[in-house]
């Protein structure tokens, strides 16, 4: 197939199609739309000891307006990852555990049960009100029996900042509504009893 011979034909068809798009009311042109909505969420009553989570989320939708009753070509909104304004981004430690929450909505989590049993997971996280939801995406490493099957791909946790018994900010994480582990970002807030050894 000779692409050089086809290119002028395609260009000619494109020009003819665009020439038919007029500004009159009887034009058969389709409308193209682009919408970007940026929403910043901040709780209304910030605490003096616990950082106020501020998460900015951008929703973008672009696409051609449908020319018939079919929505098959309508673009779906695309949600971007949480931005650097999130106060949850950081490196956290707990007893037999480490976790990184990164700006792009991903991270990793190391969970251990003693010295011989360990799992490393890639994670995804997203804002959920004044908390975040963390989901285990893929296990990268397993030693021993790991966490003995108590976590797996798709396991979700909810995490929120709270003040520990010593007044130090901790990230309290639950699984299924039950306490799972308390994390400390020692670089920002210091270590706390709740975060273990």
CA distance 86 to 132: 10
34, 51 Cβ separation under 8 angstroms: no
Could you tell me if residue 124 is inside a domain? Answer: yes
Q: Which residues pair with 100 in a beta bridge?
A: 91, 108
| Whether pTM exceeds 0.75 | no
Interatomic CA distance for residues 156 and 128, integer angstroms: 12
Domain count across the chain: 1
- C-beta atoms surrounding 30 within 10 Å: 11
Between 142 and 74, residue with greater pLDDT: 142
Residue 129 pLDDT class (50, 70, 90 cuts): confident
Whether 54 maps to a domain, the answer reads no
Report yes or no on 4 lying in a domain.
no
Q: Would you say residue 107 has pLDDT above 70?
A: yes
**Chain centroid to CA 138:** 15
Tens of pLDDT, residues 28-67: 444 444 444 444 444 444 444 555 554 444 444 444 433 4
- Which structural domain range is residue 100 located in? 90-195
* Any domain includes 94: yes
Q: Is the dihedral of CA 180, 151, 158, 120 positive or negative?
A: positive
CB neighbourhood size of 131 (10 A): 18
Residue 41 lies in a domain: no
Residue 32: which residues within 8 A CB-CB, separation 6 or more? 62, 63, 64, 65
Q: Is residue 8 part of a domain?
A: no
- Domain annotation covers residue 30: no
- Domain membership of residue 148 (yes or no) is yes
pLDDT in tens, 175-191: 999 999 999 999 999 99
């Amino acid at each position: 197939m000779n692409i050089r011979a086809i290119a002028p034909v395609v260009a000619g068809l494109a020009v003819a199609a665009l020439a038919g798009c007029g500004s009159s009311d009887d034009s058969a042109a389709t409308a193209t739309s682009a919408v970007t909505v940026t929403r910043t969420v901040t709780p209304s009553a910030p605490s003096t000891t616990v950082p106020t989570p501020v998460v900015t989320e951008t929703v973008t939708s672009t696409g051609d307006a449908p020319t018939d009753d079919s929505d098959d070509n309508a673009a779906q909104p695309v949600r971007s990852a949480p931005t650097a304004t999130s106060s949850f981004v950081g490196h956290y430690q707990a007893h037999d555990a480490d976790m990184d929450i990164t700006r792009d909505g991903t991270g990793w989590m190391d969970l251990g049960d003693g010295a011989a049993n360990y799992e490393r997971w890639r994670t995804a996280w997203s804002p959920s009100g004044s908390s975040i939801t963390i989901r285990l995406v893929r296990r990268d490493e397993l030693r021993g029996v790991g966490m003995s099957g108590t976590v797996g791909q798709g396991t979700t946790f909810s995490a929120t900042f709270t003040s520990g018994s010593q007044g130090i900010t901790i990230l309290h994480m639950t699984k299924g509504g039950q306490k799972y582990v308390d994390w400390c970002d020692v670089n920002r807030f210091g270590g706390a009893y709740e975060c273990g050894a």
